[in-house]
């Protein structure tokens, strides 16, 4: 592993440790710059969970680093409590089936009273 990659991996580990729900995406929650990223933001906002974001468009190292870190070739990438959940398809499927809400509930990040 190169020094640069080690540094990026440390940054990623720091982000997913600091944010129970962490989204690596293109753009930010206010201005997603990709339809797939926008979809995941929309779902998380709909479920009313707080989440952190990192914009991979701001850093080529981060963009390649997160792909290598997760062993996943595309963006967005969602982590919950340090575990990789998936990209847009998986998050969308899990939202539709109710599994995402269950997962977030178990992770303790859903606001009380939100069913």
Partner 1 sequence: MNAARGEDDRAARIEAVLRARLDPVGHLRISDDSARHAGHAGAREGGQTHYTVEVVSPVFEGLGRVARSRLVHEALAAEFAGGLHALALALRTPREVQPG
Query: Any contact of residue 71 with partner 1 (CB under 8 A)?
Result: yes
Is the CB of 9 or the CB of 72 nearer to partner 1? 72
Query: Any contact of residue 89 with partner 1 (CB under 8 A)?
Result: yes
The string of DSSP codes covering 58-110 is: G-HHHHHHHHHHHT--SS-EEEETTEEEESHHHHHHHHHHTHHHHHHHHTT-S
Nearest to 114 by CA among 24, 52, 50: 50
Is the CB of 57 or the CB of 107 nearer to partner 1? 57
Query: Any contact of residue 7 with partner 1 (CB under 8 A)?
Result: no
**Applying CB under 8 A, which residues contact partner 1?**
26, 33-36, 57, 71-74, 84-90, 93-94
């Amino acid at each position: 592993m190169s020094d640069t990659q080690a540094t990026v991996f440390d940054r990623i580990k720091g982000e997913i440790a600091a944010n129970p729900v962490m989204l690596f995406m293109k753009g930010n929650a206010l201005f997603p710059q990709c339809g797939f990223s926008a979809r995941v933001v929309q779902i998380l906002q709909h479920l009313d969970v707080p989440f952190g974001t990192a914009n991979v468009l701001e850093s080529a190292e981060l963009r390649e680093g997160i792909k290598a870190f997760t062993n996943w070739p595309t963006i967005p990438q969602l982590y919950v409590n340090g575990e990789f959940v998936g990209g847009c398809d998986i998050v969308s499927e899990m939202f539709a089936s109710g599994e995402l809400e269950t997962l977030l509930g178990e992770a303790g990040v859903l606001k009380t009273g939100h069913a």
